């Protein structure tokens, strides 16, 4: 059985890695993750309202949101966040409420603060993914959604072998290659009031997934439309 209590990534490694990535991040990971980001933003926008982007990085997705949504961003890496601040200024993003250096595992927002929590390419980079997902669920309002774009590791076959082989190098670069679907599924199973509403493969090569969890009451998006009541 897999021991999920042992963490295989630490925050020092992550902050060092993303300090190195910050100057070139958009160039290297801009186009490759573009379709996943578009899908996540579209999903988040269907709920709308006050949106938290965790691991907002260089703020690459911030200009993509419709300006009617209020955005908050947090990231553990100050150099990445400085890039995001420059972007907010450059694009005049007045709908961005704030950007904060903050650890995803210990969000300093009160319970039920956001309509949507978005984390793109983040969950497999944090030391304790399940504790991080717990925080997402805590700060989310009932009726809201957690929208992830995240790596899902292969269970079998050549890709699984390659992921295992590349894992130590990937950790130094700032992420995990091995991360089974079982971990997301088990988290949702044991978390009260949270249910999976979508899992959809994303490029490159379907190695990533768009994953949506809804909290509490049915989300506005999934709720079947009520037939209009007859007048009189
Ligand atoms: C692969 S990048 C993704 C950036 C951005 N979301 C995107 O779509 O390109 C992962 C981001 O998560 C941040 N991160 C990693 N661990 C974190 C943590 N514990 N708390 C907050 N942010 C974290 C990193 O600093 C980095 O900016």
Write the pLDDT tens digit of every residue in 100-111.
999 999 999 999
Reported as type and span, the H/E element at residue 147 is strand 140-151
Dump the DSSP string for 53-116: EET-TT-TTGGGS-TTSEEEEEES-HHHHHHHHHHHHHHT-TTEEEEEE--TTS--S-TT-EEE
Q: How far is the CA of 194 from the centre of ligand 1 (A)?
A: 23
Can you tell me the distance from the alpha carbon of 160 to that of 145, in angstroms, rounded to the nearest whole number?
Answer: 30
Cα four-point dihedral sign 74, 133, 70, 110? negative
Token pair listed for 120 = 């793109």
**175 Cα: distance to centroid of ligand 1 (angstroms):** 9
Give yes or no for residue 17 CB within 6 A of ligand 1: no
pLDDT in tens, 172-220: 776 676 778 999 999 999 999 999 999 999 988 778 999 999 999 654 5
Q: pLDDT value at position 222? A: 53
Ligand 1 centre from 68 Cα, in Å?
A: 24
Atom 16 of ligand 1: nearest residue by CA position: 126
pLDDT, residue 24, reads 97
Tens digits of residue pLDDT in 92-144 = 999 999 999 999 999 999 999 999 999 999 999 999 999 999 999 999 999 99
41 has pLDDT over 60: yes
pLDDT of 170 above 80: no
DSSP state for residue 199 in the 8-state scheme: E
Distance 71 CA to ligand 1 centre (A): 16
Question: How much distance in Å is there from the Cα of 128 to the middle of ligand 1?
Answer: 13
**First vs last C-alpha separation in the chain:** 63
3-state secondary structure of 133: helix
At 164 the pLDDT is: 73
Distance 67 CA to ligand 1 centre (A): 23
Q: What percent of the chain has pLDDT over 70?
A: 85
Integer Cα distance of 100 and 72 in angstroms = 8
The per-residue pLDDT for 155 is 72
Q: Confirm or reject: Cβ of 77 under 6 Å from ligand 1.
A: yes
Strands 114-120 and 50-54: parallel
How far, rounded to the nearest angstrom, does the alpha carbon of residue 86 sit from its chain's CA centroid?
Answer: 21
pLDDT for the residue numbered 231: 34
pTM of the model: 0.88
80 close to ligand 1 (CB < 6 Angstrom) = yes
115-130 CB burial, b ≥16 within 10 A, e <16: bbbbbbbbbbbbbebb
CB-based contact 200:208 (threshold 8 Å): no
Output the pLDDT for position 149. Answer: 97
Asked whether residue 3 carries a pLDDT value surpassing 80, the answer given is: no
- Ligand 1: residue whose CA is nearest its atom 13: 55
Mean pLDDT taken over the chain: 88
Q: Is 104 in the pocket of ligand 1 (CB under 6 A)?
A: yes
Q: What's the pLDDT at 226?
A: 45
């Amino acid at each position: 059985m897999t021991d999920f209590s042992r963490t295989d990534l630490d925050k020092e490694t992550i902050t060092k890695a993303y300090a190195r990535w910050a100057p070139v991040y958009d160039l290297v990971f801009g186009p490759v993750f573009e379709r996943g980001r578009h899908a996540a933003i579209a999903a988040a926008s269907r709920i709308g309202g006050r949106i938290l982007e965790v691991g907002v990085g260089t703020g690459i997705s911030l200009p993509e949101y419709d300006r009617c949504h209020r955005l908050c961003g947090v990231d553990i890496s100050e150099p990445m966040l400085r890039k995001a601040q420059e972007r907010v200024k450059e694009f005049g993003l007045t709908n961005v409420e704030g950007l904060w250096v903050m650890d995803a595992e210990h969000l300093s927002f009160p319970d039920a603060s956001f309509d949507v929590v978005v984390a793109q390419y983040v969950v497999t980079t944090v030391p304790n993914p399940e504790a991080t997902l717990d925080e997402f669920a805590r700060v989310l309002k009932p009726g809201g959604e957690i929208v992830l774009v995240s790596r899902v590791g292969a269970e079998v076959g050549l890709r699984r072998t390659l992921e295992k082989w590349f894992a130590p190098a990937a950790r130094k670069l700032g992420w995990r290659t091995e991360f089974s679907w079982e971990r997301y599924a088990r988290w949702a199973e044991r978390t009260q009031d949270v249910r999976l509403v979508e899992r959809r493969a994303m490029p490159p090569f379907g190695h990533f997934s768009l994953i949506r969890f809804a909290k509490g009451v049915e989300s506005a998006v999934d709720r079947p439309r009520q037939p209009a009541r007859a007048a009189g």
